[in-house]
Each structure stands twice: as structure tokens, then as C-alpha cells.
Chain A
Amino acid sequence: MVTMKQMMQVIACLWLFGCAESKTETVILPFSLSFEGQEVTCSSALQVNALTLYIHDLALQELSGQWQKVELDNSLNSPWQNESIALLDLAPCQTKPMGLTSVAMKVKPGQYQGLRFKIGVPQALNHQDPQLAKAPLDISQLQWHWTVGYKFAYFDLAWREQTVKHHLGSSGCVGNVGDDIQCRYQNRPEITLPSYQLGQPIKLELRQFFTELPHARCFGKPQDKGCDTLFNLLGLQDAPQRIFRLGA
């Protein structure tokens, strides 16, 4: 027999849950570029020819330490994001951007002490037939056809005599197009920013990309010399990532 008390508990639970569900507010998470601490503009010494990122799996950390999954607010009907994935295009002053400079998160009111997200396209979507893909995965330029996936991050930078060209994505893949494809290297960096407060912007510090190599390049092939630096900076090797920082 279900007691009255148990029933009340269930109802209270449902009510609380439903209530909490419906009461989210939209919090904007802005992204921008910096170079040696200075904001990157179109007249900066650093030339940004292209810089795009896919991000997904956003979560906020409550004071208790619990991580709460965050959906993206799709009410604006942007062609660059849906509930679960957003495409950022951070190259300054473009006439035709290919993505957003900020994402809108649906956040339950409360206090938080951290933010995390993944760079890339989730495994379940990464190897779909890209010709049938929905926004923001329908962009041919960001599809990585030779390895049947997506360019999770795309960097094309120039500074003085040096260039940096990187395509980040899953590699070492086997399988059939439209079928199951498995990759030895997932290459989806998880970025965690402790002490994040709602409303704080995120900055990408790009100076570190310019290493001793005059032309650093990682296009997803085993012989590409630039991959080590790229993977290291994004936290794909043992050390934590060093590109993403919280702004004021």
C-alpha cells in the first residue's frame, strides 16, 4: 500500500522538479580573443584569418561541487546553435561571420563556482552524413571529409613572420560513412574554468600558439609538427589547458 505520506512526497518532488525546470534564466557567455593580454581587434599585430570552435556539453558547478548540465537557449533560432551545440566564430570584425561570439545558456538561478564545456562535435553527431546535417553542422568548410568528421576547432593565425594553422578533430578513424565510425584519438578537449561567476566572459590567449616553429601546422596527420603544441595547449596531454581564461 502506498501511504498518503509517500504520495505527498512524490507529488512534492514532481512539483519541485517541474518548477525548477521551468524557471531558468538566460545567461550570456561571451568569448573574445586576447594576445599578450590585449584584446584582439582587426588592427592588432596578430592577424586572425579564421578562428572557429564547436562547443558542447556545458555544465555549471554548484557550491556543493555538483555539476549541472546546461542547455543552450535556442529561442533566438540562431543558425549557429541548437540546444546542445554551438559554433563560435571569433575572428574580429568580419562582414560574414560563420558563428557566434557568445552563447546563451539556460541557467537555473543559484550560485555557481565553476564552468566547463567540451570543444568539438559529440561522437554521436561527428560521423553522420554531413549532407543531411542540421545547423550548425551543415557547413562544408568545417566538415572534415577525408576523415569523415568535423573540424572541432579551426585556427588560421599570422603574427610577424610566423603562421599558425590548425584543424582539430578526431583522428585515427575506421569504419564506413553513414555507419559506425570509431576513432583512436577523440581529441575533444574538456575546458574547466574554476571560480566562474555567471556573466563572466571567456578570453582565449593566443600568444602561446606562436612557438619556435615559424609555421606551426596541425591538420590531423601523424607527421604534422604543430600537433604537439596544439594538443598541449588545449589540455589533451597530461597538463591542463592554457588557452581559455576568465575575463573581468
Chain B
Amino acid sequence: MRLVVCLGLLILCIWGWSKWQGGKEQQALAELGRHLFYDKRLSANNNLACSDCHQQAYAFADSRRLSFNTHGKAGRRNSLALFNLASYDSFTWANPLQTDLSFQALIPLFSDDPVEMAAPEIDLLAQNLTLSQYDYAPLFDAAFGDAEISLTRITAALAAFQMTLQSYNSPYDQYLAGNKQALSNEAIAGMALFESERLGCRRCHGGINFNQTIDAQGRVQRNTFHNTGLYYSDTGYPESDLGLYEVSFAEADNGKFRAPSLRNLTLTAPYMHDGSMAYLAQVIDHYSRGGSLNLQGVQGDGKLNPNKSELIVGFALTELEKNQLIAFLASLTDYELIQTPDFSAPKK
């Protein structure tokens, strides 16, 4: 009997210890990732870090319409905010192939269309990191048991850091948790509008992160993309960005994009894949009209786009209701995300 108890205790001890060790490793990995995320030495000209296009103050998006690359040139898409990333089926605005967060980092690092960071090949990159303001040897050692720098390690660490960016402490979350004071009456009225079938927002912005597609039977549909009728030019959408069509080569996908989370919207303006809308009021006008007319000076009525989702039908909204809806969307902002010191630039 004593033997069994002893053995049991021993097993429990080993289990607890390994769990604790695993947790520590995960923490060390994320800490390494945080340094890399904030390090401009990952770019060709040592002038651009992940954190320049993904800034904590803007919920890890940037405040630009289109973000700027290492050569100071604008790209073609609006930077995405980074939080609660585990809730997405695929990463970036319209690419179902990007299902792996570590792998995704290779795009900003090495892409030449558009150029973003233009990092050199790994041997040069590793050399460059030894000149960084941060001392990487102990960081890699803590995360991996030795100081070797490899691409797999870099991307694994970046992913681990990004997975720590959790954001579930908005007034809306507090309200759901039982604090009825957390939302104003205006926001509560806006919530009812948002949840209503009349507006239909929930069909594409479902779930706790407002980024799931829900079918008519209430089931979650995975990896779904939508054309929301922003444009209808000669080529469907402007040729600079055709969304999912570029990956799938299926014409019905022209202009389809992923519905992003609606959390932290007040921090992530401008909106849409091309940053074409500066204000939430403009976004709501777009949905209310059932599509946009001559958006960004692109001639054509997006409302008539044949690829447009049948869920974007338009609705009438009073000025009061519009303000209520905006108040609700604003209540989804979690200021803790932009104040958490663990998410900010590490000291030298």
C-alpha cells in the first residue's frame, strides 16, 4: 500500500515538474519571439520590425491605409491587427493556404511581391542578429537549450509570442461576465441591432471573436470568404487586389476576403483589406446601402457586383440606430491589450 502511494506521488511529481518545465519553455519561446518581433534587424535595411506594421498602440495593426515596407514603399493591403489569432481558420486577408502561424511569418520576412522586410538568407540573417541591441544567445538558449539560430526557431518563437496576444477584456466581455454596468444603454441597444437578423452582421461576424461564418442553420462554416460589394469595376475588383481569386483561380472568388474580428475596432482604423474606409460610420453606411458606390474613386457600384454575398442586402437605419451600433462596436475595445507590458518592446 505504502509503495503504491509513494509511486503515485512520484509520478505526480514528475508530471507536475515536466508540466512546469514545459510552461517555462513555452514562456522562454514567447519571450524570444517578443524580441524578434520588435527587432528591425530582421529587415534588409535594419529599419523595419514586425512591430512597425503591427503596433501595440493600434491593437497590433498600424494606423495607415497601406503599410510601408523596408524601402519606404506602400504595399497593397491594410495591416491586420494581431490578437486572439487561434480563432482564425487561416491567416491574412484572403489565403486559405496560410493555416500555420509560424509559416506565415516567412511571407513578411521574404516576400518579393510585395516586398515587406526583404530579410536576407538565414546565414546572413543570423549574423545580423548578433549585431542587434538584444543579446540573443541567452534567449535562444533558454528557449531551445542552445544558442543556434535557425529559421524554424525564429518563426516558432514569433508564433509563440503572437499566440500570447490575447484580448478578452473589453467592456463587452465584462458585460457578458455579469457586470451590467460595463455597457452604456446606447451600446446595449446597438448590441441588439448587431445581433438582429435585419442587419445580419452575425452571419459573417459570428462567435466570440466576431470572425466566424454562420450558415442559415446556425452552423459554423470553416474557411469561408465573402465579397461584400466594395467595388464593381471592369475587372470586378480593382486589379491591384482580387482577394481569394488570386489564390484559388476560381472566378467566383473575385473580391472575396476573410471577415476579420471586430474586436478593438476603435484602434485599428482605417478599415477593410485596402484601408478604404476611414470611419466606422462609413462602414455602416456601406452595409446599409448594400454595397459601396465609387469607393476610393474606383468607378462602379459594388452593390451590383455579381460575386457579392447574398447576405449583403442593405437595410434602413436611423441616425440614432447608427450611433447605437457604433457605440456597441466601440465597446469591443480592450485597452488592456495595448497596455500589457509583456506585449511591448523589450528593454535592451
State the A residues within 8 Å of B (CB).
129-132, 139-141, 143, 145-148, 167, 171-178, 181, 184-185, 219, 221-223
In addition to A174-B96, A219-B113, 15 A-B residue pairs with Cβ atoms within 8 Å of each other are A131-B103, A131-B150, A132-B152, A140-B106, A141-B121, A143-B110, A145-B107, A145-B111, A146-B111, A171-B249, A172-B248, A175-B97, A184-B249, A222-B245, A222-B249
A174 to B98, CA, bound (A): 10
Chain B residue at minimum C-beta to C-beta distance from A149: B97
- 27 example contacts (A-B, Cβ-Cβ < 8 A) are as follows A129-B103, A131-B106, A131-B150, A131-B152, A132-B152, A140-B119, A140-B151, A141-B110, A141-B112, A143-B106, A145-B106, A145-B110, A146-B113, A146-B247, A147-B247, A148-B97, A167-B113, A172-B249, A172-B250, A173-B247, A174-B96, A174-B97, A177-B100, A181-B97, A184-B249, A222-B249, A223-B239
B196 adjacent to chain A (CB < 8 Å): no
B23, chain A: closest CB distance, angstroms = 25
Residue of A131, A167, A177 with most partner-chain B CB within 10 A:
A131
A130 lies within 8 A of B106 (CB) = yes
A177 lies within 8 A of B103 (CB) = yes
Give the chain B neighbours of A146 by CB distance below 8 A: 95, 97-98, 107, 111, 113, 247
A143 to B247, CA, bound (A): 16
Size category, B interface: 20 to 34
Residue of B112, B121, B150 with most partner-chain A CB within 10 A:
B112
B122 adjacent to chain A (CB < 8 Å): yes
B326 adjacent to chain A (CB < 8 Å): no
B96 lies within 8 A of A177 (CB) = no
Residue of A140, A147, A178 with most partner-chain B CB within 10 A:
A140
Chain B residue at minimum C-beta to C-beta distance from A179: B99
B272 adjacent to chain A (CB < 8 Å): no
Chain A residue at minimum C-beta to C-beta distance from B253: A222
B80, chain A: closest CB distance, angstroms = 14
B246 adjacent to chain A (CB < 8 Å): yes
B267 adjacent to chain A (CB < 8 Å): no
A172 to B246, CA, bound (A): 8
A185 to B250, CA, bound (A): 12
A58, chain B: closest CB distance, angstroms = 27
Chain A residue at minimum C-beta to C-beta distance from B110: A140
B260, chain A: closest CB distance, angstroms = 18
Within 8 A of A (CB), among B89-118: 95-100, 103, 106-107, 109-113
B155 adjacent to chain A (CB < 8 Å): yes
B97 lies within 8 A of A177 (CB) = yes
B235 adjacent to chain A (CB < 8 Å): yes
A64, chain B: closest CB distance, angstroms = 41
Q: With A140-B121, A172-B249, A221-B242 as given contacts, are A178 and B97 in contact (CB-CB < 8 Å)?
A: no
Give the chain A neighbours of B119 by CB distance below 8 A: 140
Chain B residue at minimum C-beta to C-beta distance from A156: B112
Give the chain B neighbours of A173 by CB distance below 8 A: 97, 247
B224, chain A: closest CB distance, angstroms = 14
A139 to B245, CA, bound (A): 27
Give the chain B neighbours of A185 by CB distance below 8 A: 249
A223 to B234, CA, bound (A): 12
Give the chain A neighbours of B97 by CB distance below 8 A: 146-148, 173-177, 181
Q: With A131-B152, A143-B106, A143-B110 as given contacts, are A178 and B235 in contact (CB-CB < 8 Å)?
A: no
Give the chain B neighbours of A167 by CB distance below 8 A: 113
Chain B residue at minimum C-beta to C-beta distance from A154: B112
Within 8 A of A (CB), among B49-102: 95-100
B242 lies within 8 A of A222 (CB) = yes
A146 to B241, CA, bound (A): 14
Give the chain B neighbours of A222 by CB distance below 8 A: 242, 245-246, 249
A174 to B99, CA, bound (A): 11
The 4 closest A-B pairs by CB, nearest first: A172-B249, A145-B106, A140-B110, A131-B152
A52, chain B: closest CB distance, angstroms = 13
Give the chain B neighbours of A221 by CB distance below 8 A: 242, 246
Q: With A131-B155, A143-B110, A223-B235 as given contacts, are A174 and B95 in contact (CB-CB < 8 Å)?
A: no
Write the B169-187 contact mask toward A (1 if CB under 8 angstroms, else 0). 0000000000000000000
A132 to B150, CA, bound (A): 10
Give the chain B neighbours of A145 by CB distance below 8 A: 103, 106-107, 110-111
Residue of B119, B235, B245, B249 with most partner-chain A CB within 10 A:
B249
Chain A residue at minimum C-beta to C-beta distance from B99: A176
B223, chain A: closest CB distance, angstroms = 10
B113, chain A: closest CB distance, angstroms = 5
Residue of B95, B98, B109 with most partner-chain A CB within 10 A:
B98
